[in-house]
Structure 1
Amino acid sequence: MSVTIRPRSSRQDDTAILQLIRDEIIPYSYLYSLQDAPTQEELRKRLDLGATYAAVFPSTSQPYGFVHAVANGQLLYVDLLAVLPSCRKRGAGRLLMEQAESYGIAAGCQEALLYVDEGNDAARRFYEKLGYRVTGFAERVRCYEMRKPFTGFGGRLSNSRRTRRR
């Protein structure tokens, strides 16, 4: 399967992205259950901050994965990432993360920060393969803090790390 990554179109993508959040993110969360999770309107407002990119099926342009990140000074906060289970292990998650990191580097960020829910070992291993390291544990939200410096890239991603569109 070729991977196509593009910026989020709220009109076209939000239904699928909100479903991914409901199915693939909230069940891992210590903070929320499906009953008290943020509303669709709250999530839409959250996605409007920073940048959101979608991995889409080439034939339909329907999202099967997405990443949301916010650049704040020298720090890129990777807020949300999800890929449908049937589409995992095909490179979409890696390409989505590379797109988010490129956005952060272009905005002047020197480091990326994200949190992985306790018990989501597959996600923690995925981020470790991308160069993120556990730097702490947030007990209140039961999440591992993970960081990745961009300093080795001289302000840019190297050729081997540049986002590819296929």
Structure 2
Amino acid sequence: MIIRQRSSKLDDSAIMRLIDTQLVPLSHMSEKEIHKIRKEIPLRMNRGMTFVISPEPDQAAIAFIHFLMHGELLYVDMMAVSTREQRKRHGQTLLQRAESFAVSRGCKKSKVMVDEGNIKGTEFYQKNGYHILRYIMVSRCYEMEKRL
């Protein structure tokens, strides 16, 4: 397994599959909202950074993390690991890589939003040093934060 930056030609269809299978089912958005967001994902992916894990350099992603940096803040936008690759520390590896990258660029704090029904996600971030700051009723998600 290797970690590398996203290659849109190689990875984007795999990333969309991961979003559709791992993230969309946990969302509380309507079909219409999900459709709109899906259309925006290619543009969203071009902002910020995306690291992927793939079996070989020329093979598509089996896991990814997409994040943005704003001044001293790292914002984890999306992360997903394919079902059969879960529980192999890929998520933790990607999160640590994103955090290290952000720290090297002056970030001091990391934030992530986790959908209210995503218990595994909330537990994952807590195990990795994040705590719940608040619940945001409008988007039905928890804002979590960690000092880097």
- Give the TM interval when normalised to the shorter protein: over 0.9
* 1:23 shift after superposition: 1.3
Give the direction of change, closer, same or farther, for the CA distance of 1:28–1:13 in structure 2 (3 Å limit): same
Counterpart in the other structure of 2:41: 43
Q: Find the aligned partners of 1:116 and 1:35 in 2 and give their Cα distance.
A: 17
Aligned to 1:63: 61
Partner secondary structure for residue 63 of structure 1: coil
Deviation (angstroms), 1:19: 1.1
Give the letter for the 1:37 counterpart.
Answer: H
What 5-or-longer segments of structure 2 have no aligned partner? none
Counterpart of 2:126?
A: 128
Q: How does 1:101-120 map to 2 (within 5 A)?
A: 101-120=99-118
Residue 14 of structure 1: aligned partner: 12
Give 4+ residue runs of structure 1 displaced > 4 Å after superposition.
none
- Residue 136 (structure 2) aligns with: 138
Going from structure 1 to structure 2, the CA distance change for 1:32 and 1:77 (only over 3 Å counts) comes to: farther
Counterpart in the other structure of 2:76: 78
Indicate if the aligned counterparts of 1:26 and 1:37 stay in contact, CA closer than 8 A: no
CA distance in 2, matches of 1:20, 1:58: 18
Per the TM alignment, residue 58 of structure 1 is displaced from its structure 2 partner at its CA by 2.5
Q: Is the 8 A contact 2:24 2:34 kept in 1?
A: no
Instruction: Specify which of 50, 53, 67 is matched with residue 52 of structure 1.
Output: 50
Report the Cα distance in structure 1 between the residues aligned to 2:121 and 2:104, rounded to whole angstroms: 25
Rounded to whole Å, the distance in 1 between the matches of 2:66 and 2:29 is 19
Which residue is equivalent to 2:28?
30
- For the structure 1 residues 135 and 93, does the alpha-carbon distance in structure 2 shift closer, same or farther, using more than 3 Å as the test? same
Contact 1:68 1:79 in 2 (8 A): yes
Please identify which structure carries the higher helix content: 2
Unaligned runs of 5+ in 1: 151-166
Instruction: Give the Å deviation of 1:29.
Output: 1.0
* Deviations, residues 97-148 of structure 1 (Å, cap 9, x unaligned): 0111122112211100001101110111111111011111011011011000
Query: Contact conserved, 1:26 with 1:32, CA < 8 A, in 2?
Result: no
Residues 51 and 94 of structure 2 are in contact (CA less than 8 Å); yes or no, is this contact kept in structure 1? yes
